[in-house]
Amino acid sequence: MKAQINNKECSFEAQESILQVARKNGVFIPTLCELHDQGHAPGTCRVCLVEVKREGSATSEFVTACDTPMQDGLQVMTRTQAVQDMRRVQVELIMAEHNQDCAACSRHGDCELLDVAEAVGVRQSACTIAKPGVTSVCEGTDEAIRFDPSRCIRCMRCVAMCRDIQGVDALSLVGRGAETAIVLNGGEGRRQSDCVSCGQCVMVCPTGALAENDQTQAVLNYLIDPEIVTVFQIAPAIRVGFGQEFGLPAGTNVEGQVVSALRAIGADVILDTNFAADLVIMEEGNEVLGRVLEGRGTTFTSCCPGWVDFAEKHFPGILPMVSSTRSPQQCLGSLAKTYLAKKMDIDAKHIRVVSIMPCTAKKQEAARPELAKDGVPDVDVVLTIREFARLLRREGVNLAELEPSAFDDPLMSEYTGAGVIFGTTGGVMEAAIRTLYFVANGKELDGIEVHDVRGFDRVREATIEVGGQVGTLNVAMVHGLKGAAQVAQAVLDGSVKYDFIEVMACPGGCIDGGGHLRSKKGYLKHAEARRKGLYAIDRKTGARQSHNNQQVQKLYQDFLGEPLSHASHDLLHTHYQA
């Protein structure tokens, strides 16, 4: 089939929209609400207006290019004066209703609305309409994500993300016209609602309407307080995702620069969450081993807080199957205020643990009352990648200009290749299998890598011959909550039988967590490069199995005794509530 765009003939396939055909032919049409890699084209912002003339018609009409199918013989004009004027008015209307206090916006310097304003030639909004009295149950702050209705442009990306990709369906659009608002389903406030704070809605919001609850000021306050000992930890995925905030390509290993940056802003102790990932394999691996040997059925991983929250809210029946081991973030926080405090002779009252995570749900995890001792949390503040970048900019530190440096903590910064691959889907499972193989056979797995559990399909399964007392393990790896719901339901129905299931709430795992740099006009653009970055680090690491982490061995010798000991239970395990 053939049509014309700006008087140039082009061919197209049935069902293709005018926007898709234009893009294939290198013709630019500005868009705002549309998110093409997710097939999201609601046509609500009307920025993609084009003029069309149908075959045999003497007059032209204006249509939105994203949701209008291309037709045989259609003439499309994308740059007429009328088109330009209408687009400009459209963006002015959106801007007029939008809170233009850009300095206070989380998307400051990185806003898709301002990009579009520039593209259509709006330099300044012609008028400002007082924001109507929009009310929203998720207005205000909570410990993970906040919603600012005055910056919402009703593009519906967040609603579609939560419903169609995550399958949580925690958001709805209510009201009409200018009074339309996004609200949470299932109960007032994020904790009570269906939302699990995964942050995937934040990743696709084109403005600052959805954002992490910014805690950079709290960390600055710790850093300038001479009484406080700041203990930082960095998550596995940080080292392959953070460089992008400073213009480096996705997947670049910036671990050494992150350590230098933390020193530059005055961190007292720098730990690696990877160390705790190795520790979690020792605890969770022993839980799985016990359950397999005693025939007690499936174990689900517990390190992803979005998943744990989802299980509690939506699949309480599986809670007895969720590993009781706390996440690496929480294990490290707990040990920082006990083991580290003891070894460094610091009063734990003065310690503040700050985590740098690619995740919004980690904020909600750190705030869980059952993970606090006498009301004092083990992890005091969680900064997403975006907040950490903000903190460095506020302190005048440019990561890209720093020389790398090494961790200097002799207690909890060593990690193995197994610990670092936690950051990608399949990584926890692979790390566990490397250690279970050793336990079952008394020797290391030949070739070390377990390719059967790798991949990017949303739900994967594998049968692993571990041998020895463990025998064959049936395992599954799931990333994204839609797949998690499917697997959880199948386990409850008894239609599948797995020994061990790894679940990560975010599609891709932590390498694409809801706390990363936000992409413009795209979603999951960097997962592959970041995943390769983590596997490259694994290959270069001296020891590649968690049980070979010498600092973990020393921790057991000096402090915990053995995996699943009384001390381990006290400091490294938890319980869940429906």
What is the binding site for ligand SF4 (CB under 6 A)?
Answer: 145, 161-162, 166, 168, 170-171, 195-201
* DSSP-assigned states of every residue in 441-480: HSSPPTTS--GGG----SEEEEEEEEETTTEEEEEEEEES
CA 444 to chain CA centroid, nearest Å = 33
Distance CA 351, CA 355 (A): 13
Partnered with residue 8 across adjacent β-strands are 5
Active site residue 284: yes
User: Considering only residues 99, 200, 286, 329, which one is a binding residue for ligand HC1 as defined by CB under 6 A?
Assistant: 329
User: Considering only residues 509, 514, 533, 563, which one is a binding residue for ligand HC1 as defined by CB under 6 A?
Assistant: 509
Does residue 117 sit in helix, strand or coil?
A: helix
- Residue 19 C-beta: closest distance to ligand HC1, Å: 35
Active site residue 362: yes
Task: Spot the catalytic one: 34, 51, 283, 365.
Answer: 365
User: Considering only residues 251, 285, 328, 563, which one is a binding residue for ligand HC1 as defined by CB under 6 A?
Assistant: 328
Query: Is position 43 an interface residue for ligand HC1 (rule: CB under 6 A)?
Result: no
Among ligand HC1, ligand SF4, none, what binds residue 358 when CB lies within 5 to 8 Å by partner kind? ligand HC1
What is the b/e burial string over 530-552, where b = at least 16 CB atoms within 10 angstroms of the residue's CB?
bbebbbebbeebebbbbbbbebb
Task: Spot the catalytic one: 33, 45, 506, 510.
Answer: 510
Binding to ligand HC1 (CB under 6 A) within 270-289 occurs at: 273, 277
Among ligand SF4, ligand HC1, none, what binds residue 413 when CB lies within 5 to 8 Å by partner kind? none
Query: Is position 429 an interface residue for ligand HC1 (rule: CB under 6 A)?
Result: no
Distance CA 389, CA 395 (A): 10
Residues near 500 by beta carbon (within 8 Å), at least 6 away in sequence: 288, 292, 298, 299, 301, 429, 432, 473, 475, 476
Instruction: Tell me the chain's radius of gyration from C-alpha atoms.
Output: 25
Active site residue 212: no
Residue with smaller CB distance to ligand SF4, 197 or 413: 197
- Residue 510 C-beta: closest distance to ligand HC1, Å: 3
Query: What CA–CA distances, in Å, run from 81 to 25, 50, 119, 378, 541?
Result: 21, 11, 14, 60, 60
Does residue 110 sit in helix, strand or coil?
A: coil
Among ligand HC1, ligand SF4, none, what binds residue 282 when CB lies within 5 to 8 Å by partner kind? none
Among ligand HC1, ligand SF4, none, what binds residue 199 when CB lies within 5 to 8 Å by partner kind? ligand SF4
**Max CA pair span of the chain:** 86
Among ligand SF4, ligand HC1, none, what binds residue 166 when CB lies within 5 to 8 Å by partner kind? ligand SF4
Query: Is position 479 an interface residue for ligand HC1 (rule: CB under 6 A)?
Result: no
Distance CA 383, CA 362 (A): 9
- Residue 203 C-beta: closest distance to ligand SF4, Å: 8
**Helices and strands per DSSP (H, E), number in the chain:** 21, 19
Q: Footprint of ligand HC1 on this chain (CB under 6 A)?
A: 235-237, 273, 277, 303-304, 327-329, 357-359, 362, 422-423, 509-510, 513
Would you please indicate which residues are annotated as catalytic (active-site) residues?
A: 284, 287, 303, 323, 362, 365, 370, 510
